[in-house]
Amino acid sequence: MTRPRRRSLLPGCLLVLLSAFFGLVGVALIVVGSLSGSAVDDEPYRWTDGDLVLDFPRHATCTVVPEAGPRRVVEPVRRREQIEVARWFSGPAEVTCDWPVTVWQGGGASFRSFVSSSAFEYGLATLVVLPLLGSAAVLVRRGS
């Protein structure tokens, strides 16, 4: 391959690498957001910080019992749902569920909400696809 031919492939290759980079970073963020939660199973979960995100795998019911404030029951409307619960009390609370549920609180809850949002998913898809389309356009233009 001649040097000018290699130089003409460089922009397309860089765009493919950029797309792969965005894809890997996006997948890593999704994995970190998913694995950073705690399981609420047989033992009560202690809610001490910020808001809470509950990820219900089935029709589970969770009960939040604060040390200072009224108790509240949280249950999903659909079979699989992620629910954000804002604090309505001060101090800590215990969360118990009748089915295994994954929970995030504080900054972890905000991060989980972000990586599971439609804006993040569509933005990630755009950041992966646009460089690939750009590299295809560069390669087609160079080939003709």
pLDDT tens digits, 10-46: 777 888 888 999 999 999 988 887 777 777 777 889 9
State mean pLDDT over 127-144: 80
Give the whole-angstrom CA distance, residue 70 versus residue 72.
Answer: 7
Count of other CB atoms within 10 angstroms of residue 56: 23
| Alpha-carbon gap, residue 91 to 55, rounded angstroms | 23
**46: CB partners within 8 A, 6+ apart:** 92, 93, 94, 95
What gap in Å lies between CA 46 and CA 85, rounded to an integer? 14
Largest Cα–Cα distance of the chain, in whole Å? Answer: 75
Give the mean pLDDT of the chain: 84
The answer to whether 135 and 13 have CB atoms below 8 angstroms apart is yes
Report the pLDDT averaged over residues 79-99.
89
What's residue 35's pLDDT?
A: 77
